[in-house]
């Protein structure tokens, strides 16, 4: 029995290691994709810091979960949106991120979110 597919937005606002939100949202995205749901990932505010390619969490004995972002494309999660303003605010260039992403302007975020049937915020 196949469930009808829903469009689901996962919104990441938290930095990577202060709390487990980042790891949990990624687990959720991969799990939803296994159930053939149409997942889009959004990274805003400190959430963009999760994508920095220069991370090395082994020095604080934390799991290097950012390496799993590279698996998103194999789970057919292709819509990965990153807030341009949040990157600029933190002096981060798109070339410093670990995966290819779509940059979005502040004002376009709500437009993209309004197309989604469900939203989850981490």
| Least distance to another protein, CB of residue 36, Å | 33
Token pair listed for 56: 């090395």
* Nearest alpha carbon to residue 122 among 65, 59, 67, 73: 65
* Closer residue to another protein (CB): 93 or 115: 93
Report the C-alpha gap between 67 and 69 in whole angstroms.
5
Q: Which residues contact residue 71 at a Cβ distance below 8 angstroms, ignoring those fewer than 6 apart?
A: 30
> Least distance to another protein from the beta carbon of 113, Å?
21
**List 5, 18, 35, 78, residue binding another protein (CB under 8 A):** 18
Residue 51 Cβ vs another protein, minimum distance, rounded to whole Å: 10
x/- map, 24-63, another protein, by CB under 8 A? ---------------------xx--x--xxxxxxxxx-x-
Contacts of 107 (CB under 8 A, 6+ apart): none
């Amino acid at each position: 029995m196949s469930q009808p597919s829903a469009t689901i937005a996962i919104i990441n606002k938290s930095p990577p290691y202060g709390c487990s939100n980042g790891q949990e949202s990624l687990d959720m995205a991969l799990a939803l994709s296994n159930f053939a749901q149409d997942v889009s990932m959004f990274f805003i505010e400190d959430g963009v810091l999760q994508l920095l390619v220069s991370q090395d969490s082994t020095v604080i004995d934390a799991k290097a979960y950012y390496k799993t972002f590279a698996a998103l494309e194999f789970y057919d999660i292709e819509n990965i949106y990153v807030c341009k303003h949040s990157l600029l605010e933190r002096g981060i260039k798109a070339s410093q991120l670990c995966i290819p992403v779509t940059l979005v302007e502040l004002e376009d975020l709500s437009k993209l979110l309004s197309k989604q049937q469900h939203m989850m915020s981490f």
